[in-house]
């Protein structure tokens, strides 16, 4: 549609680059929930606090994989560490990711250390060996040692909040700093990416928590679920407001690029932009979450509605990533036309490979949950103190 130069027909940042910010967003959102518990003392998140940490780790381990695959020569990714260029915004991801990974690993080790020590002492064979390695030679689980652990957990959780914000806000900065592209170049881009990351991470935890209780056949903590839904609705409202303000500001300014932007959002990406991102992925979930808080429904019906809303939000945030990454590349650099893109099924950047990358964190999460179960079902306060998770040590 319109006029395109030959070098504008190819989409360089394909489906893998759509998945990359989507996964990092899930990491940031999941970690924020854990920090709300450890730092701000929101005790209703107790059933899911430990699970949110390992969920963040599972997705964090996979975060660089889409970029490495997209390179075609994954080993070249090591160049950013071997020959660092601190003036390059793109190479900065490697250092941000590495620092954040170490931070999350330290916090998880401290949170799960009493369990690891217990498994190392009671296990046999290969399991004993694994847990002994994970214990790192530290077997002191006295009250004094656990009190020190709790203080360190709070410190790491506090530091992790700006670190998580930097991890995903950085992605928005990469796009927002490209002045030549009118669809990307906006100061709101880092903030919108960050807020949508928190939204997607909370939605993921809500979905995973409901599914995990069904799989384990244990009662669902409705207070925890309601708190998750309230925070989800709050962040979703702010994120949707900013996305709307961005679109309105573009319309109001009506710069020379507005005509091609209008053609983009009302044409090529109209379905994914208005239909999926805003309507199905934001408006319907907001209404659904509002109904669960105002209507007189039983807990089962509320759980179903909250689960449904969270699933739609995950789809909507993915659509937002698609609209930003792919939509921005469809606009011709001459502002005279709109390109086209359909992801292939096969190939290194195809749908199947991308789907496998999205499923990989769930596999890693399953392995971690098997090795160090995060659940505290039926654990009494006295037992919590022995396990090193007493609330007094977290305040």
CATH code, domain with 80:
1.20.1630.10
Q: How far apart are CA 179 and CA 327, in angstroms?
A: 15
Helices (H), 276-350: 284-294, 299-330
Q: pLDDT tens digits for 67-112?
A: 888 887 777 777 777 777 777 777 777 788 888 899 999 999 999 9
Q: 């609330």: which residue's tokens?
A: 391
Which domain, by its residues, includes 300?
6-393
Please work out, in degrees rounded to the nearest 5, the angle formed at the alpha carbon of residue 376 by the alpha carbons of 374 and 378: 155
Please, what's the b/e burial string for 281-314 (b: 16 or more CB within 10 A of its CB; e: otherwise)?
bbebbbebbeebeeeeeeeeebbebbbbbbbbbb
Residue 310 falls inside a structural domain: yes
Residue 35 falls inside a structural domain: yes
Number of structural domains the chain divides into: 1
Residue 128 falls inside a structural domain: yes
Q: pLDDT tens digits for 144-198?
A: 888 998 899 999 888 888 888 887 777 777 777 777 677 787 778 888 888 898 9
Contact status, residue 113 vs residue 135, Cβ threshold 8 Å = yes
Categorize the per-residue pLDDT at 360 as very low, low, confident or very high, splitting at 50, 70 and 90.
very high
Residue 1 falls inside a structural domain: no
Per the prediction, the chain carries an average pLDDT of 84
Please, what's the b/e burial string for 179-195 (b: 16 or more CB within 10 A of its CB; e: otherwise)?
eeebbbebeebbbbbbb
Contact status, residue 41 vs residue 394, Cβ threshold 8 Å = yes
Residue 114 falls inside a structural domain: yes
* Residues sharing a CB contact under 8 Å with residue 264, sequence separation 6 or more, in sequence order: 183, 327, 330, 331, 338
Structure tokens at 315: 């789809």
């Amino acid at each position: 549609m319109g006029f395109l130069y030959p070098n504008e027909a190819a989409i360089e940042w394909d489906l893998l680059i759509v998945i990359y910010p989507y996964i990092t967003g899930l990491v940031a959102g999941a970690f924020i929930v854990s920090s709300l518990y450890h730092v701000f003392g929101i005790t209703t998140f107790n059933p899911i606090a430990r699970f949110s940490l390992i969920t963040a780790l599972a997705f964090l381990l996979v975060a660089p994989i889409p970029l490495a695959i997209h390179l075609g020569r994954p080993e070249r990714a090591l160049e950013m560490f071997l020959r660092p260029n601190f003036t390059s915004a793109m190479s900065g991801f490697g250092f941000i990711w590495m620092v954040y990974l170490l931070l999350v690993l330290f916090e998880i080790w401290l949170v799960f250390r009493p369990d690891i020590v217990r498994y190392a002492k009671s296990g046999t064979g290969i399991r004993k060996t694994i847990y002994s390695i994970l214990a790192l030679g530290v077997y002191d689980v006295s009250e004094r040692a656990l009190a020190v652990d709790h203080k360190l957990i709070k410190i790491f959780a506090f530091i992790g909040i700006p670190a998580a914000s930097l991890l995903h806000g950085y992605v928005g900065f990469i796009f927002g700093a490209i002045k030549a592209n009118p669809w990307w170049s906006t100061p709101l881009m880092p903030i919108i990416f960050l807020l949508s990351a928190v939204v997607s991470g909370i939605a993921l935890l809500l979905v995973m928590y409901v599914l995990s209780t069904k799989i384990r056949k244990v009662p669902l903590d409705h207070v925890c679920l309601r708190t998750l839904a309230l925070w989800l609705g709050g962040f979703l409202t702010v994120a949707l407001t900013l996305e709307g303000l961005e679109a309105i500001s573009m319309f109001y300014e009506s710069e020379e690029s507005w005509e091609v932007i209008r053609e983009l959002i009302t044409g090529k990406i109209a379905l994914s932009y208005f239909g999926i991102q805003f309507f199905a992925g934001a408006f319907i979930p907001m209404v659904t979450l509002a109904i669960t808080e105002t209507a007189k429904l039983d807990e089962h019906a509320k759980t179903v509605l909250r689960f449904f809303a969270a699933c739609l939000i995950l789809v909507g945030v993915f659509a937002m990533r698609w609209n930003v990454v792919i939509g921005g590349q469809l606009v011709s650099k001459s502002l005279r036309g709109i390109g086209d893109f359909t992801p292939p099924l096969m190939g290194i950047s195809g749908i199947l490979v991308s789907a496998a990358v999205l499923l990989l964190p769930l596999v890693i999460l399953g392995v971690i949950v098997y090795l160090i179960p995060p659940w505290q079902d039926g654990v009494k306060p006295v037992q919590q103190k022995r396990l090193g998770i007493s609330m007094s040590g977290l305040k």
